[in-house]
Amino acid sequence: METKATPMASRRGFRTGIEALDEMAPHGQFQGGAVHELLWRKSAGFPLSFALLLARAAQENGGAIAWNDPDRELYLPAVAAAGIDLRRLVLLRCSGRSEQMWALAECLRCPGLSAMVASVDKLSAIEARRLQLAAERGGGVGVLMRRYESRNIATYAAASRWLIEPAPGSPQVQRWNVELLHGHGRRSSFNPGRTSQVLLLEVDRETRAVRASGQLADRSAAPNFAQGERALPARATG
In this structure, the strands spanning 89-92 and 141-147 are unpaired
- Binders in 99-118 for another protein, by CB under 8 A: 99, 102-103, 106-107, 110-113
Q: How far is the CB of 36 from another protein (least distance, A)?
A: 17
Q: If we measure between CA atoms, which residue out of 25, 44, 45, 28 comes closest to residue 36?
A: 25
- Binders in 76-95 for another protein, by CB under 8 A: 76-82, 86-94
Radius of gyration of the chain (CA): 17
- Binders in 156-185 for another protein, by CB under 8 A: 165-171, 174-176
**DSSP-derived 3-state class of residue 233:** coil
Q: How far is the CB of 212 from another protein (least distance, A)?
A: 16
* CA geometry: angle 152, 133, 116, nearest 5 deg: 80
Bridge partners of 14, per DSSP, are 30
Question: Is 9 near another protein (CB under 8 A)?
Answer: yes
**DSSP-derived 3-state class of residue 67:** strand
Question: Is 238 near another protein (CB under 8 A)?
Answer: yes
Closer to another protein at the Cβ: 26 or 48?
48
Q: Quick one: which H or E segment has residue 24?
A: helix 19-24
| Binding span for another protein by CB under 8 A among 19-27, 47-55, 124-132, 215-223 | 47-55
Of positions 35, 48, 54, 57, contacts another protein by CB under 8 A: 48
Whether 103 contacts 94, CB under 8 Å: yes
Bridge partners of 68, per DSSP, are 92
**Total binding residues toward another protein, as defined by CB under 8 A:** 65
Whether 155 contacts 125, CB under 8 Å: yes
Please state, in angstroms and as integers, the Cα–Cα distance from residue 224 to each residue in 34, 158, 233, following that order.
Answer: 27, 27, 22
Closer to another protein at the Cβ: 91 or 181?
91
Closer to another protein at the Cβ: 55 or 128?
55
- Binders in 50-79 for another protein, by CB under 8 A: 52, 62-64, 71-79
Q: Which residues lie near another protein (CB under 8 A)?
A: 1-3, 5, 9, 43-49, 52, 62-64, 71-82, 86-94, 96, 99, 102-103, 106-107, 110-113, 165-171, 174-176, 205-206, 208, 234-238
